[in-house]
Amino acid sequence: MCQTIISCAITGSAMTSEKNSAVPVTPSEIVKSSVEAAKAGAAIVHCHVRDPETTRPSMNLEFYREVTEGIRDTGVDVIINLTTGPGARFSPSANDPGKASSDSKMCSPSERVKHVVELCPEICSLDIVTMNRKNHVFLNHPEHLKYMSAAIQSAGVKPELEVFDTGHILNATNLIKNGLIQSPPFFQFCLGVDYGAPATVESIVMMKSMLPRNAIWSAFGISRFQFPMVAASVLLGGHVRVGLEDNIYIEQGVLAPSNAALVEKAVRIIHDLGGSVASVGEARKLLSL
């Protein structure tokens, strides 16, 4: 069993901060939670940012700068992974389906990667996906993906290819073949999300079988599937992700007190299964950073 990289998704775009006060909101809270997660065993911290006043998701460059530079200034060695997911939410207008409704949030691909190009984290997420969600479409146009992939590569940043179903892997493989994503590619299986692949062992086996030969992969399940997917991914030779972006509970009915607590539980699972947790340096080597 190989060394397992733990990623921690610190805070996402959902309104989870209203349900669990441990979800970090301000840049300083995100920095503090990232450092705690790193000390608990996470080699990678995956970060969104929020508006401190509204707690709502934000794409503000200065918030990203505060988080990125804040983590770096602590001196704690951890791989920073910034999201590029925001800016791809589309809902059609009731009067004209060709136009976006007021609750849509669509941005140009250059806006979605501006903070990555400016701040140069070691990794950024890249959602290779267009899919239905409960009340909107998560929309990533092929030309937008090409633009973002090229910009990310030019910045010297490694994309974490987030895929929510099997067809998304085929889309990512095409980008790799066209030279827009360098080898070895790093895939993240996002499981249990509405209308995507379910959080099951069968999903992981199927998605793993479709990867390019030299791909590195990780998997996570949302909500109650978080820790079962940690175990499944470890046993199938992958890496893992936990964090308050994906799940706000440490066990059934018990809110997680911190991101660090979720990481510590993942560490225990990995050790109990006979595996070992990759250090930051080992993670960099495994991912060819």
Whether residue 15 is predicted with pLDDT greater than 80 in this model: the reply is no
pLDDT at site 273: 97
Average pLDDT value for residue range 187-205 = 97
Residue 236 CB neighbours (<10 A):
13
pLDDT band at 207 (very low <50, low <70, confident <90, very high): very high
pLDDT at site 1: 67
Most confident of 52-61, 92-101, 198-207: 198-207
Report how many domains make up the chain: 1
Convert the pLDDT of each residue in 137-152 to its tens digit.
Answer: 999 999 999 999 999 9
Average pLDDT value for residue range 252-265 = 97
pLDDT band at 156 (very low <50, low <70, confident <90, very high): very high
Mean pLDDT of the chain: 96
Query: Which tokens sit at 260?
Result: 């660090």
Residue percentage of the chain with pLDDT more than 90: 95
Q: With a threshold of 0.85, does the pTM exceed it?
A: yes
Whether residue 23 is predicted with pLDDT greater than 80 in this model: the reply is yes
Distance CA 192, CA 220 (A): 9
Identity at 38, one-letter amino acid code? A
Distance CA 198, CA 242 (A): 17
Residue percentage of the chain with pLDDT more than 70: 100
SS3 assignment, position 237: coil
Convert the pLDDT of each residue in 26-52 to its tens digit.
Answer: 999 999 999 999 999 999 999 999 999
**Residue 137: which CATH number?**
3.20.20.70
Helix or strand run (H / E) with residue 255 = strand 254-255
Query: Which tokens sit at 47?
Result: 């970060």
The pair phi, psi for residue 246, each rounded to 5°, is -100, -25
pLDDT at site 270: 98
The pair phi, psi for residue 253, each rounded to 5°, is 80, 0
pLDDT band at 13 (very low <50, low <70, confident <90, very high): confident
Paired sense of beta strands 216-221 and 239-242, if any? parallel
Domain coverage including residue 180: 3-287
Contact call for residues 126 and 84 (beta carbons, < 8 A): yes
pLDDT at site 111: 97
